Amino acid sequence: MLRYPLRDIAGSLASSPSLESAVESLLVYLRALQSDWHPSVALYTAGNERFERVFQLDRGHSHARAVNVGLDQLPARLVRKYISPSAFFNDDSRRSLLEKFFSQAPGYEPDRFEGPQLQPLTAPVGWRSCACLPLNDHDELLGLIVIVCPRPNGFGTAAIEALQPLRGLASLAIARRLHASGRPTPESRAAEESARLAASTMTERVQTLEAELGRAIAESEARGATLQAVLREAEQLRADSGAHHEERTRAARQAAALEEQIDAVGTHLSDACVRLAEAESRLGEMTFTLDVVREAFEVIAHDPDPASITRAFVGWFCERFQVGRLSVMRLDDEQGDLRIMAHQGMDPSMAARVRLRVGQGVAGWVASTQQPVIVRERADDTPVHATGLDLYNSDSFISIPLVHRQRVVGVMNLSNKQDGEAFDELDLDRAQLASHVLALALGEALAA
């Protein structure tokens, strides 16, 4: 198998400040690999189902030209392979199957009948052979790398396979630039859809309880009217002579039975009101959760630098949840210890000196076990106890692991709740929800 040196292009793609510079680095590198290769990059807009921009080299620099190429204008075989494979994945595992399909998909080489259809996406040169490689973000197509060559049969199987690592690097770089410009990530879309579905389910439940409450009130009013009529009849019977004693007794029994029914209806009505209040409370919590997810992704969306992402996140979290002291510790894989990456409410000189080994103290135990810790007060039943090196200055604190793709990238520590109260399970749930977003951003940024 052919192998190309990828270290230089990997560094160039990772350090490119914009989408255009990343695409130019990719085109220049491909051009340098083979003197008779003429590469171009066509970007795909999923919402319009069209290719709308094509980047190509001109005198050593890339420039973009606008195109308007719909799916019906491209070779059907190319569309089925890279753009519309969802027909084969209609079950709940569609997302993971599509991501695996893109990661293992080979290149595409058009035949002589399909070549003219690809002409709008290629460099403006005469060519006799062509190869297409997909650029994808997990299960979504971002675009195509199109390489043409004036020689026939210019791309063998070995060349296509050797280009696969480069395709993966380019896909990651372009996806990061698109995310930084506001394009949502697959993870954020999945989290928002899950929260929206949960809120919709809760709304339907509240509507059902309201309908039940309405029916119960109507039944109660009807039975109350019946009871009033029976009571009036009983009063009339009491005014009659003793000859009607037996009838009066029967009416009294009916009234007692109806009173019992009214009591039962009242109990049912009270229960329905309690369930409605509980449902409205859960709906409010789900709405708050959705707002937290959106705010967290807005905080990290436009900055690819892990240090500035973390500082912005720490400031937002302390203000949003009224926490006086917070630190984010990053795991140094080479040294095997935890170091403070960003903090608020701490002495900077002290924070710079902190080093915790994995397994040492509360934060080290959390990093080692990947289990969160919440301590409401000093007690003997906690799974781990603070040491002299721990960073907590109150009897109640929370420590949460930051896990990305089953790998610990750091630990988030909270203390000094501003209202003076101890942290509770709701605080832990909300902190864990926000920490998942921070772990996703740090994991992607550090991996790049």
Half-sphere exposure of 401 (CA within 13 A, CB side): 18
pLDDT at residue 382 in the model = 61
Contact 60, 28 (CB under 8 A): yes
Q: pLDDT tens digits for 115-126? A: 899 999 999 999
pLDDT tens-place string over residues 55-66: 999 888 889 999
Residues of the chain with pLDDT under 50: 1, 86-98, 100-101, 104, 388-389
Determine the pLDDT at residue 208. Answer: 83
Angle at 311 between CA 432 and CA 429, to 5 degrees: 10
* Residue 342 φ then ψ, to 5°: -155, 150
Correct CATH for 7-183 of 3.40.50.300, 3.40.50.1820, 3.40.50.9100, 3.30.450.40 = 3.30.450.40
Q: How far is the C-alpha of 133 from the C-alpha of 119, rounded, in Å?
A: 16
Q: Is the dihedral of CA 261, 266, 267, 273 positive or negative?
A: positive
| The pLDDT value given to residue 381 | 54
Residues belonging to the chain: 448
Q: Are both 7-183 and 303-447 of the same fold?
A: yes
Residue pLDDT, tens place only, 244-283: 677 777 878 888 888 888 888 778 888 878 888 787 777 7
What is the structure's pLDDT at 363? 92
206 to each of 276, 277, 278, 285, 396, how far by Cα in Å? 6, 9, 9, 14, 35
Half-sphere exposure of 397 (CA within 13 A, CB side): 25
User: Where does 345-424 have alpha helices with state H?
Assistant: 348-353, 361-369
**Orientation of helix 245-300 relative to helix 425-447, angle to 10°:** 30
Q: What percent of the chain has pLDDT over 70?
A: 84
Rounded Cα gap, residues 122 and 69, in angstroms: 12
> Do 398 and 423 meet the contact criterion of CB atoms below 8 Å apart?
yes
What type of residue sits at position 406?
Q
Terminus-to-terminus CA distance in the chain, angstroms? 26
Write down the pLDDT at residue 101. Answer: 45
The pLDDT value given to residue 89:
39
3-class secondary-structure state, position 16: coil
Class of domain 303-447: alpha beta
What residue has token string 């170091």? 339
Beta bridge partners of 42: 54, 144
CA distance 107 to 155: 10
Sorted by where each begins, the domain ranges of the chain are: 7-183, 187-299, 303-447
Question: 317 Cβ partners below 8 Å, 6+ apart?
Answer: 323, 326, 431, 434
List beta partners, residue 70. 50
In tens, the pLDDT along 349-382 reads 898 899 999 999 999 999 999 999 998 765 555 6
Q: What is Dmax (Cα atoms) for the chain?
A: 121
